[in-house]
Structure 1
């Protein structure tokens, strides 16, 4: 089921609430009489304003609806072509323009403006690549949308001695981001709103730096209606005070426009603000991989070891083949084979998490099977013979007599295998599963902060120490029960 946008929720509130009750800002008489605030925009600039299923959506649309609600009216969105949008305002076709319009001296001669945000140009890179300053563009392949502020800025840079290896102008922003994603470009220069929107919704991208100082964007209002300018200004200020404008920005961009700042310099500040949230998320996935593949590996390893000790020649042969196959090939190869090759061979498509757990479980089971076999064979054979003499079946004697003693003896080597397994989980980064080391590596590459690898080391150490403590407690319980 499709979630309603924030704009839709605001529109419903505007309709549901009586106009007199919803208007906490003085409403100009001309709006009060019509009950409508006519808002023009050029719906070709996602995420600020664009068409979705034929309807205008975006940050500016949500803002228009929020302001109209505060004025006690509803917003009527009028889609206009950019070239004639100011002329339409001056001819009275609509009341305001909310369409990411830069406030310039030339435009201020044609309309009044109420500033609602500041927007800069930013550098967008793939995760693992970082361009922070304009000097770092030298020798890079740079993507940009043709005939934009970013494009003109890049051309001026070349006159300052900053020479990119290649500038690739694309007709639209979608094509420019596609080029960056497919590695046809190393960095993209674009408006902050666009860069942050795509980075928020696609982990491939990261906003790594600010290309230009933020410039003001504003709501254009007909100069013949100063009372409307005052009302819009008051409504906007009220939305700032109660946090609605900030919430809209966080919804669309992950933060306020114009507030892009470089990551903190100090290790602890950087870790708290940037690294630790992602490291903790990666640690959670590593724990899932360790526990999931560990439990499955123990169960499968026990079955394989019992098959290897079986009197049936076929089961013994299958167990030997299994153990030889998974101990004789690299775990990395097994992960790649299960994730990439199986879909082509038998049309079995596994997600990254499932493929990682399957590969790790199958590999761990081969090693655990040998541990279990050695443990079972270390139990005096006389115990099995005595159990059989008392009338127990082989399966019952194994379950009641042999295996309990085996588990007690094998607890340390099994824990060692699980500890090794927790570190082997780092190999699943080759299938882009964001476990602990993958996240740390991405942070180190994106922000050029290799010291964050210390957090990965601490995470793996924490897992191993926790397993060791739990194993010692279990061992003491088993000893007490045996006594």
Structure 2
């Protein structure tokens, strides 16, 4: 009787395992899904020039060009969905879209919710200065007057990371006014995010932009479980960096 009981126990165990697996959640495989459909949906705020903005009713910008090239290399089409920025992360986690391609900067809080790709742009903080200026690094601001747009990353950086230096500040509601004061030598430097600095001074030969003083990576985003899709995206982003495609986008949209 013992061998028979053992056989029954083994059979019951197998049935239990099969039943459990039948109700187990499926492993996410968004990569296979988008490959099968030939389409990947991407969330985008549509309101952060030159990365993304509406022109004649059509979404355009750095991220749109990046997405088109990514889709070409993946052998799929990428369709954008415009989403208000405050709900952009939720649109991904709720599976409204497959990915985010919207110049999202990496923060510890966001990285707890979603995955970030290899960085495709540095949106860190630096300074716009006159070409004739000797300001290259943060320590060169000692004794100078700097322009800060209220609420910008440049203002936060100056007030939290540069407290060991002594300088005067002028604040502005409008970034363009700060740049005008720089050109008229009322301030010695204007601090802000590198994309804002580069885009808004791209046609001014009298102004140059420093190197990054405080880096901030921008990446493409997937859900936490979509590691296969992220691996695929990273493969192509690394190739774009190595073959100069990302550099060509920088020149096209920021003019430097």
| 1:76 aligns with one of 76, 79, 83 | 79
1:202 to 182, 201, 204: 204
Whether 2:43 is the aligned partner of 1:40: answer yes
Contact conserved, 1:121 with 1:189, CA < 8 A, in 2?
yes
Task: Report the alpha carbon displacement of residue 149 of structure 1 after superposing the two structures with TM.
Answer: 2.3
Post-superposition shift, 1:83? 1.7
Task: State the shift of 1:200 in Å.
Answer: 3.3
Secondary structure of 1:201's aligned partner: coil
**Cα offset, 1:189, TM superposition:** 0.8
Q: Against the structure 1 CA distance between its residues 104 and 167, is the aligned structure 2 distance closer, same or farther, given a 3 Å change threshold?
A: same
Matches within 5 A, 1:43-192: 43-119=46-122, 120-157=124-161, 159-160=163-164, 162-170=165-173, 172-192=174-194
Contact 2:53/2:61 (CA < 8 Å) preserved in 1? yes
Structure 1 contact 122–210 (Cα < 8 Å) conserved? yes
Partners of 1:35 and 1:175 lie apart in 2 by: 47
Match of 2:68, SS state, is helix
Structure 2: distance between partners of 1:204 and 1:77: 37
Q: Which runs of 4+ in 1 moved over 6 A?
A: none
Aligned partner of residue 120 in structure 2, secondary structure: strand
Taking structure 1 as the reference length, the TM-score comes to 0.43
Q: 1:76 to 1:190 in 2, by over 3 A?
A: same
CA gap 1:241/1:128 in 2 versus in 1, 3 angstroms: closer
Contact 2:149–2:175 (Cα < 8 Å) also in 1: yes
1:94 partner SS: coil
Q: Number of residue pairs matched?
A: 226
Q: Is the 8 Å Cα contact of residues 50 and 61 (structure 2) preserved in structure 1?
A: yes
Provide structure 1 residue ranges, at least 5 long, that are not aligned to the other structure. 1-26, 256-483
Name the SS for the 2:133 alignment partner: coil
CA deviations 1:362-418 (Å, max 9, x no partner) are xxxxxxxxxxxxxxxxxxxxxxxxxxxxxxxxxxxxxxxxxxxxxxxxxxxxxxxxx
Structure 2 SS opposite 1:214: coil
Q: Shift of the alpha carbon at 1:100? A: 2.2
User: Which structure shows the higher strand fraction?
Assistant: 2
Query: TM-score under structure 2 normalisation?
Result: 0.76
| CA–CA distance in structure 1, aligned partners of residues 232 and 138 of structure 2 | 41
Cα–Cα, structure 1 residues 43 and 204, in superposed 2: closer, same or farther, change >3 Å? farther
Alignment of 1:23-422 (within 5 A): 28-119=31-122, 120-157=124-161, 159-160=163-164, 162-170=165-173, 172-207=174-209, 209-210=210-211, 212-254=213-255
Residue 125 of structure 1 aligns to a residue in which SS?
A: strand
Q: Which has the higher helix share?
A: 1
Q: Which residues of structure 2 form unaligned runs of 5+?
A: 1-29
Change beyond 3 A, Cα 1:239–1:132: closer
Q: Larger relative CO (CA 8 A, sep 6+): 1 or 2?
A: 2
Structure with the greater alpha carbon radius of gyration: 1
CA RMSD of aligned residues (A): 2.6
Quickly say closer, same or farther: Cα 1:159–1:213, change in 2 above 3 A: closer
- 3-state SS of paired residue (2:86): helix
Equivalent-residue separation in structure 1 for 2:244 and 2:52 (angstroms)? 21
- Asked if the contact 1:118–1:214 (Cα under 8 Å) also holds between the matched residues in 2, the reply is no
